[in-house]
């Protein structure tokens, strides 16, 4: 690896990797869904919301800057109004008990409960997985997103 490596046990690597996938990613997804709901309630078209969140590349750029410059330095790439809004509102969510939920998920990974659940899911023919996947990323959703990207995403304006 060009950037070096961090020594982890296989168990630590599994907990970290699956923790990102099962604790962090669903939390980010839920926060994003909540944001979209609130914006729609304020009369903002869904296409505009998704353009701001994803198609503009702004969030992707911010995460790239986190990787290349760090949290503190990347803040300087935001406008003063953005910085103030982020910093003055960051404690608005302190009352949400996210760590307790995340600990329960990660404990399930570390204890092997998730592995047992996944084995049972496999043995059952992945029926629950397919149901969950269809609800989250079904054909209609995929087609709608594809059309939106064709209209508003990269390369849409030629």
- Helical H segments across the chain, by residue range: 10-19, 25-41, 46-50, 58-69, 71-74, 80-89, 98-111, 113-123, 127-137, 139-152
Residue 155 lies in a domain: no
- Residue 4 backbone zone (phi > 0: left; psi -120 to 50: alpha; other: beta): left
Cβ neighbourhood burial of 51 (10 Å; 0-12, 13-18, 19+): middle
Residue-level pLDDT at 158 = 52
Residue 147 lies in a domain: no
User: What is the token pair recorded at 149?
Assistant: 């990207």
User: What is the token pair recorded at 48?
Assistant: 């505009």
What's the structural domain count of the chain? 1
The dihedral through the CA atoms of 71, 75, 78, 80 has a sign that is positive
Residue 27 lies in a domain: yes
10-residue averages of pLDDT along the chain (158 residues):
81 97 96 94 93 89 92 89 92 95 98 98 98 87 82 70
- 151 near 48, Cβ under 8 Å? no
Q: Which of 19, 29, 17 is nearest to 105 (CA)?
A: 19
Residue 118 lies in a domain: yes
Residue-level pLDDT at 54 = 87
The dihedral through the CA atoms of 82, 88, 89, 94 has a sign that is positive
State the residue range of the domain holding 116.
10-123
Residue 64 lies in a domain: yes
Residue 131 lies in a domain: no
Residue 138 lies in a domain: no
Residue 129 lies in a domain: no
Residue-level pLDDT at 114 = 98
Q: Whole-structure pTM over 0.85, yes or no?
A: no
């Amino acid at each position: 690896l060009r950037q070096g490596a961090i020594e982890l046990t296989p168990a630590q690597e599994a907990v970290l990797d699956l923790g990102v996938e099962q604790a962090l990613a669903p939390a980010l997804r839920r926060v994003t869904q909540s944001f979209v709901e609130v914006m729609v309630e304020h009369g903002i078209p869904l296409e505009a919301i998704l353009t701001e969140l994803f198609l503009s590349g702004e969030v992707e750029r911010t995460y790239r800057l986190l990787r290349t410059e760090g949290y503190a330095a990347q803040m300087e790439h935001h406008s003063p109004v953005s910085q103030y809004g982020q910093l003055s509102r960051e404690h608005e969510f302190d009352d949400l008990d996210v760590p307790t939920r995340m600990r329960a998920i990660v404990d399930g990974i570390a204890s092997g409960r998730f592995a047992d659940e996944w084995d049972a899911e496999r043995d059952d023919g992945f029926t629950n997985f397919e149901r969950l996947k269809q609800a989250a990323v079904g054909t209609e959703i995929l087609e709608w997103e594809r059309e939106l990207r064709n209209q508003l995403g990269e390369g849409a304006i030629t």
